[in-house]
Amino acid sequence: MTDFGELKSVDVREIWNNEATDFTPWLVDNIDKLGEALGMELEVREREADVGDFSLDILAKDLGSGRAVIIENQLEATDHDHLGKLLTYAGGFDAGVLVWIATDLRDEHRQALEWLNEHTGRDIDCFGVVIEVIKIDNSKPAYHFKPVVFPNEWQKDWNRGTTTKSPKAEAYRNYFQALIDELRTKHKFTGAKIGQPQNWYSFSSGVPGIIFSNVFVQGGKIRAEVYIDFQDKEKNKILFDKLHQNKEVIEQDFGNELSWERLDDRRASRIGIYRDGSIDLSSETLDELRKWSIEKLLHLKKIMLPRIESLMVSQ
């Protein structure tokens, strides 16, 4: 007969004594785990971001949709003060995603977030997340992000009368839904779960400022790329130039010529590979494009990311 251990709750204050100096820095370093719980690719943009006399715990970006994400933390039960701050930050940063993390989500605050989800458009999503720490007997503690309030996409479509979308938007959504599902389930490449009705999708590399993307571009082309944007043009160009110095070796390892796009008139730079393709092709051709994109994204990460991390450490 199986001998089961006892599951025990651990006081989060035993792990993170202080919200601002312990929990928030930890969350910044583990933002990908929160993203997995929410089905998004999150990248931190700023910690303690100012809005008037207040400071938001974490400002992030949903790489899949490009929306600003505000994250407010409480190592206690939710209160009215933080609800007010959350709404203030949402307006201050024109946020598309609101995330409220606490050890306990009070019923009145859960109802408030659910009301917002039901009465805002598809471009606004609200999450209430409970942070738990548990142990089995005397094991190491394990954390758990438990979403208890999350957007009801069907309800939002119904409320806004969006049952009729453009065929092209739906084609993009279907293409990227299948792409992210395979990347998540078969390759552990992403924690994203929701395809978007747009011509691109971006994925976190685990290194802030380095993003992998699949993009349908003008002229009937599709591109898999590594996108360099540290929010600092000089820093972006320095890294690009160092990589470009090893162009021949990188392309030899990759197995194909790459498109090296410094983009001098823009802040960011990118390195990618193209092939013919557009979203209005047959389903069989789109399946082929998706397989090609997955292969190239995986290979870009394998070949480029270790070099980028090495160059960043040496700077």
pLDDT of amino acid 244: 97
pLDDT of amino acid 83: 94
Highest CATH level, class, for 167-314: alpha beta
Does the pLDDT at position 142 exceed 90?
A: yes
Contact 43, 203 (CB under 8 A): no
Mean pLDDT (whole number) for 274-288: 96
Cα distances from 307 to residues 210, 240, 253, 311, in angstroms, run 12, 11, 12, 6
- Closest by CA position to 233, among listed 257, 267, 208, 200: 267
Lowest mean pLDDT among 117-126, 150-159, 229-238: 150-159
Q: Which CATH architecture has domain 7-159?
A: 3-Layer(aba) Sandwich (3.40)
Question: Among residues of the chain, what percentage have pLDDT more than 70?
Answer: 95
3-state secondary structure at position 57: strand
* Band of pLDDT at residue 159, cut at 50, 70 and 90: very low
Does the pLDDT at position 155 exceed 70?
A: no
**pLDDT tens profile 31-84:** 999 998 998 899 999 999 988 888 999 999 999 889 999 999 999 999 999 999
Farthest CA pair distance, the chain: 68
Q: What is the mean pLDDT of the chain?
A: 91
3-state secondary structure at position 100: strand
**pLDDT tens profile 17-46:** 999 999 999 999 999 999 989 988 999 999
- Closest by CA position to 273, among listed 255, 248, 246: 255
Could you give the CA distance from residue 313 to residue 10 in angstroms, rounded to a whole number?
Answer: 36
- Residue, of 153 and 110, whose pLDDT is higher: 110
pLDDT of amino acid 163: 45
Mean pLDDT (whole number) for 213-234: 95
Q: Per-domain residue ranges for the chain?
A: 7-159, 167-314
- Residue, of 3 and 28, whose pLDDT is higher: 28
